[in-house]
Amino acid sequence: MKADELKRKLTIYSYIVIILMVALCLRLTIIQLFDNERYQAQAKENRIRLVSIKAPRGEIYANSGEILAANKLVYTLSLSFIENQIDEEVLDRLVEALQEYYPEITRADIEEKIEVQKHRLYEPITIIRDIPWELVVKLEENRQELAGVLITVEPLRYYPGGDLAGHLLGYIHSINEEELTQADGTYSINSLIGKSGIEKQYENVLRGKDGARRVEVDAAGRPIRELVTLEPEQGNNIYLSIDYELQQVLDSSMKKTLEELQKTYPKAKVGSAVVLNVRTGEVLAMTSMPALNPDDWKGNISNEKAAYYFPQGDSYDPMDPGAAMNRAIQVSYPPGSTFKPVTGMAALESGNMNPIDHSVNCAGRYWLAPYIKCTGVHGQRNYYSAMAVSCNTYFQEMGRRAGQNQIIHVAEQFGLGQKTGVDLPHEISGLLPTPQWKKELNALLIDRKYDRLRQDLEQRYDQLLKAATSEEERARIENRKKNEKAQLEAQYQIDYNFDTTWQPFDTYNMSIGQGYNDYTVMQLANYVATIANGGSLMEPHILKKVVSPSGKTIKEVKPKVRHRVDVNPSTLAETKRAMLAVTEPGGTAHFLFYHFPQEIKVGAKTGTAQTGRRGDDPLKEFHGVFIAFAPFDNPEIAFAGVVEYGFSGGGSAGLVCRDVFEHYFGIKDHLREAETGTQIEPGTNSHQVSVPETPVETENDIQNIEETPIEPTNVESLNDTTAETEVSNQIDEP
């Protein structure tokens, strides 16, 4: 019995084995005959890897060949999906390995990168660029435990000058989904792309064409041999109009000036300036402080750096201004008395002013309402002497004689309130106020204000009517409502007619650069350059030429005249002469340039402008504004600068202008002094803020607030608009 049972079981097992073998053979046959190509392809995919080769970006040079932006080879850490997944243990081991070098990186950070790329898992996920060699060795030593971890060598942007011309150069950062969608296949999810400045403006010129190589790997993902390589193509190089030494002096002087000013004016943390070639429109130097270091943006931005560039808060804080914006083109400022040459030219063009014979007696304030104060009692002043001491009374009278339409026309001719067309992204227009603009703005504000008052009135009387206990009381309430509503509508008409109509005080304010005037530093620089060159409004440009990697010049930028101003040459000549008086004895900028040689005379204008920001003291807090050109007889360069809360133009931005002009004309070698540590003589290149012996404009644009019946709505809207302009025109975050 037992033998028969055993035999039966063996027979069953034999049949099972035979069935399994037959099934296996059938499966092998199917695979060989029908699925051969599919499995061969999968095996090849596991064995062959397509590795992208990043193309170097084109390099950026100053006009004399100094390198501003270059490339270096770095190690990049990436993750590659294996069989559509990444081992959880591998992630833990990778984070543990990174902690010694990057303690701020967590597993959540890596998982966030994976999530962002979840629809493009066929591409490696870049974790960190430019990792140290020690980390490379550590990861390679643990290669067996880090399946899917890739280390590649690729070119990466770097900036030898650090934050030198940082805002002008801009920065590169990881491409976002919107940019990737618009790129039409020219970028990958791991691409770095220009986000601001020259890097963004000339992205299509600077970017290269990525290559690729097919590599055979073993089971552990280690490369065995290289099969085919498609070499990358480097982007084109570009040369800028920037004068490297002048840029160094401009940046250094602005930093030193701000540091010194903050000892007296703690809010003086922001400054910007532009230097132009008046004949060609070339930007020779541009600065914006706080500085931007493009190297900060190539990888993950720490919380500390993010706070430096983008401070938190709903409103602009002068004590924590943020460094992301290029304030030379992205922020507009009241020009203060630097606008007075426009008023003077408008008066000359109107035929109602003779620069010598038509003098005005300054008794300390203008004699027409709102009786705006002057910086002093100047007595009889003509065009030259009034410009020299920045007499408010004189220029308000010239504004009255010229009329607002003539002032607006001249300002438009010199490009104020318009984008200059400089080849940088995110430039704003500023504001040249006109009667039409005032009507549209204040009509909106007045309607908004009175709609709110009407609603409040209705709600208040609805409650009173509901609480009424008799018809007699209800009738009295209805009558009061009717009378109050009539009064409200009458006041609305009065305010509407007054606030939407250009008033004489608007002209007086405008004529001294206050009121609603708001211009960028670039506009101010181009405006003074146009005066200096005899009336050609140039289009400022930074690109000088494009050169291929092989050294062939592909494109050269020629000077472009936007238009010739329709101002008489004699008007320009008289205005230049008046600006020269500003730097002569008795002028508000004489202390800055008195030591310049006779053949390098400087024409200038100082400005002390009310900030227009809510919460600022209108009698104590001012922006310092300064414009200048030189040499007077044959102008070559023009300067415009603003220092927020710098108090006076000559005592803030004027110091920066002096240093730039000294270096440009060879009067003083500021770079050599900085290298050798040579003591700077007081009165020549000192950055100490002190009261000079010659008069300096300190309150030339200050209104007599107590005696100025300016409508509250306009003042409030001005404050709001100015403050919002400062905050809302930030560059887009990556």
**Residues 49-240, CATH architecture:** Alpha-Beta Complex (3.90)
The whole-angstrom separation of Cα 9 and Cα 4 is 9
pLDDT band, very low/low/confident/very high, at 149 (cuts 50, 70, 90): confident
Q: Which of 72-81, 124-133, 391-400, 702-711 has the lowest mean pLDDT?
A: 702-711
Give the residue carrying structure tokens 């990556």. Answer: 734
pLDDT in tens, 507-539: 999 999 999 999 999 999 999 999 999 999 999
Nearest in space to 702 (alpha carbons), one of 589, 611, 579: 611
pTM for the structure as a whole: 0.84
- pLDDT score, position 225: 63
Find the range with the poorest average confidence among 50-54, 354-358, 370-374, 477-481: 50-54
Cβ neighbours of 57 (radius 10 Å): 26
81 and 120 in contact (C-beta within 8 Å)?
Answer: no
Length of the chain (residues) = 734
Tell me which residue has tokens 């300096």. 696
Residues 6+ apart with CB under 8 A from 249: 285, 659, 660, 663, 670, 671
Amino acid at 23: A
Residue ranges of the chain assigned to CATH 3.90.1310.10: 49-240
CATH architecture of 256-290+323-432+507-545+556-728: 3-Layer(aba) Sandwich (3.40)
The enclosing H or E element of 440 equals helix 435-467
Distance CA 463, CA 486 (A): 19
Q: In which band, very low, low, confident or very high, does the pLDDT at 71 lie, cut at 50, 70 and 90?
A: very high
Top mean-pLDDT range of 9-18, 116-125, 658-667: 658-667
The tens digit of pLDDT for each residue in 382-403 reads: 999 999 999 999 999 999 999 9
Q: In the chain, where does the domain assigned CATH 3.40.710.10 lie?
A: 256-290+323-432+507-545+556-728
Residue 12 CA to chain centroid, in angstroms? Answer: 84
Q: Percent of the chain having pLDDT more than 70?
A: 86
Cα distance between residue 66 and residue 61, in whole Å: 5
